Amino acid sequence: MSFTVHIVDDEESLRDSLGFLFASRAIATRTWASGADLLAEWPLADCGCLILDVRMEGMSGPQLLDALQARPEGLVPPVIFLTGHADVPLAVQSLKAGAFDFVEKPFNDNHIVDIALAAIAAHAGRLAEVQAREAVAARQASLSAREAEVMGLMLEGLMNKQIAERLGIAMRTVEVHRSRVLAKMGARNIADLARMT
């Protein structure tokens, strides 16, 4: 998936200049005049990072970040704040609240693009981790109750004979369950299984 940089600023000239800057580096952007406008269409699957002005009419950048973090959709893309000199303490506070970075105005064009690219890369990495965890959870949910039991004992390091004794079943039955667990989980061996769970 190709990601878009979403820019929220109540100054049209700044939105336009940032849009032009990112376009010159072949990076897609979408601009918003207010945090409320963005929230009305949230979540946005293509959002790789957000560039928010700290001070805006209505909802400020930090208030918008708080609103996004309170939403039930989960993962909020990285947020980069644009700040005037007087806003630096507020920007530092925002970093502690989960912002990716802040850029002081006037900013260096290449610097802000590089930060946005780093933010998009970080977001792509986090998304991949979430998707991998969800895939493992889905495979785990496909196990029967007995297979889940056998997997738990496998992960405790028990051998087939010990598992058979613990569960009061034949060793051959344990072997079948063990084989199914590995196949369903997409694991080559117990070490693989331990890594993914």
Q: How far apart are CA 120 and CA 153, in angstroms?
A: 40
DSSP string, 81-148: EEE-GGGHHHHHHHHHTT--EEEESS--HHHHHHHHHHHHHHHHHHHHHHHHHHHHHHHHHTS-HHHH
User: Is a pLDDT exceeding 70 seen at residue 173?
Assistant: yes
Query: Tens digit of pLDDT for each residue in 60-101?
Result: 998 999 999 998 877 899 999 998 766 667 767 777 778 899
Token pair listed for 3 = 């990601």
What is the distance, to the nearest Å, from the Cα of residue 63 to the centroid of all Cα atoms in its chain?
20
Query: Tens digit of pLDDT for each residue in 104-137?
Result: 888 899 999 999 999 999 999 999 998 899 999 9
Topology, domain 142-196: Arc Repressor Mutant, subunit A (1.10.10)
The pLDDT value given to residue 1: 65
What is the percent of the chain where pLDDT is above 90? Answer: 72
Q: What is the mean pLDDT of the chain?
A: 91
Question: Is the CATH number 3.40.190.10 carried by domain 4-134?
Answer: no
Grouping H, G, I as helix, E, B as strand and the rest as coil, residue 34 is: coil
Q: Where are the domains of the chain?
A: 4-134, 142-196
The pLDDT value given to residue 172: 94
Q: How far apart are CA 46 and CA 67, in angstroms?
A: 19
